[in-house]
Amino acid sequence: MIAAYLVLLIPLTGMAFFALAGHRADSGIWNIRLNAINLVATVWLAVNVLREGTILSSGKAFLVDPFNVYLIVLTAFVGLTTAIFSAPYMEHEKEIGRLNDARLKLYHAMYQGFMLSMYLVLTTNNMGILWVAMEGATLATVLLVSLYRTPESVEAAWKYFILCGVGIAQALFGTILLYYAAEQIGSEENALLWSVLYENAGKLNPEVLKIAFVFLLIGYGTKIGLVPLHNWLPDAHSEGPTPMSAVLSGLLLNDALYAVVRNKMLVDGATHSDMAGFLMMGFGLLSFLVGALFLHRQKDIKRLFSYSSIEHMGMMTFAFGIGGPLATFAALLHMTVHSLTKSAIFVTVGHASQLAGTQSMEKIRGLIKTQPEVGWGLLIGTVSIAGFPPFGVFTSEFLVLLATMHSYPWLAPLLLLGIGIAFAGLFRHIQPIVYGDRPEGQQPIKANLWPVMIHLGLVLWLGLAIPGFLADWFSQATILISGSAPL
């Protein structure tokens, strides 16, 4: 478990370092270094899990298994590439007067604090600590959303805090019900340990677990961005700094869904029914369709892709709700390719907004003519997230569709309809942004597009062939979640 402790210790050290040292000329470089070291630690942890199986710490405080270890590595990877993009981006924001040294100090400290919260969510074995870590992530991102201190950003931060505060309170009540159910079978000391709860799931009161899951789904579903508690997400994306949008869509939403799936496993074992799955399917499909429809109404480019995140998180929730090996494998793959693609898109969106001096899609035009690498990056990222072959998003969406046709064929037309609506909504906006007339006086800016090329290259690779080690991860996680190997 040394690697797991390092994964937590490194961002904790980084947060303290930035808070005490203040903003320095090399703060962005140190942010990159800390995330790079943590990526190495997560790979070390993943190798240990692949060799030894599930790892449980001596005090049972931490648990790492095939389900969360791949998310830990994905979190570290996206955290590193976003930090690489973040360094020059945030310095440019300082140069144009949107930020000062004090706010950059806060930004780097909270970036590390956010990463610490994400790692704690994924590694803890205690459902109470998981709730605390999700609340910590909320507080860190509230400070990041309001970083510019404009009236709009402060309003977005308050909306985020209030809505997610209400949601996380529901999750707390659900967690208390979990404790009550465990206490009834005499597990007071280890009542909130997931490993203990899972081992004794068949003994837990099924009625209490059903009620608990309703509160947990509403609570953590708010963080996922499930309709109708999704309103915070577009505002948070549009008003905060773009690197925050990249890690918000690429990491936080995944971790909230991870918490829901962990709780679904407990409820399935206690109730031996599809109740939890049906709830996830209902909220997931509703979010998927609403997100696709609202793409057509957007005028802000960051809000556009935030609704795309709502759409895709809805599809993942729906797939996990279906259950079974194929749907679960598809959902795990979709979590990966969505995180990589959406974080890459927000990198290009950040550069496009800086180039145009606005986030309004009516004024961002002719990117390929003004700065071809930014325009092509945004276009290819949009092609990928829209589900075009041969990118990995097409593969995962196709697998979700196959699983739906196998289990609930009457829902397949709704999935196809939502995919078509989302495709039209994205490209009606992106076509003039990329190919429109170049505005007069618009000049190229210094752009760091390495993260975009790396992410989209990986998504293309996953669409053509899933590497053996990653397929093993997905297969082992599928067995753990669904109880059977993928088809």
The answer to whether residue 412 is domain-embedded is yes
- pLDDT at 485 exceeding the cut of 60: no
Yes or no: say if 423 and 387 are a contact pair by the CB < 8 Å rule: yes
CA atoms within 13 A on the CB side of 393: 25
pLDDT in tens, 173-200: 999 999 888 888 766 677 889 888 888 8
Alpha-carbon distance values, 212 to 65, 259, 280, 396, 437 (Å): 24, 13, 14, 30, 54
| Containing structural domain, residue 296 | 274-487
The answer to whether residue 329 is domain-embedded is yes
- Mean pLDDT over residues 98-110, rounded? 88
pLDDT in tens, 355-403: 888 888 888 888 888 888 888 999 999 999 998 999 999 999 999 999 9
- pLDDT, mean over the chain: 88
The answer to whether residue 218 is domain-embedded is no
The answer to whether residue 72 is domain-embedded is no
pTM: 0.94
Q: Give the residues across from 300 on adjacent strands.
A: 360
Neighbours of 106 (CB within 10 A): 19
**Position of tokens 């962990």?**
262
Query: Which DSSP string corresponds to 148-184?
Result: T--HHHHHHHHHHHHHHHHHHHHHHHHHHHHHHHHHH
Q: Comparing C-alpha atoms, which of 149, 282, 297 is closest to residue 214?
A: 282
Q: What is the pLDDT of residue 28?
A: 85
Q: Comparing C-alpha atoms, which of 341, 333, 295, 294 is closest to residue 315?
A: 333
Q: Comparing C-alpha atoms, which of 444, 426, 313 is closest to residue 378?
A: 426
Which residues are CB-neighbours of 414 under 8 A, at least 6 positions away? Answer: 285, 289
Question: CA 39, CA 27: separation in Å to the nearest integer?
Answer: 18
Q: Which residue has the higher pLDDT, 456 or 161?
A: 456
- pLDDT at 267 exceeding the cut of 70: yes
- Mean pLDDT over residues 37-61, rounded? 88
pLDDT in tens, 214-260: 999 999 998 898 988 888 888 888 888 888 888 888 888 999 999 99
The answer to whether residue 153 is domain-embedded is no
Q: Which band of pLDDT confidence, cut at 50, 70 and 90, is reported for residue 354?
A: confident
What is the total count of domains within the chain? 1
The answer to whether residue 455 is domain-embedded is yes
The answer to whether residue 27 is domain-embedded is no
The answer to whether residue 101 is domain-embedded is no
Q: Comparing C-alpha atoms, which of 385, 359, 241 is closest to residue 299?
A: 359
pLDDT in tens, 380-390: 999 999 989 99
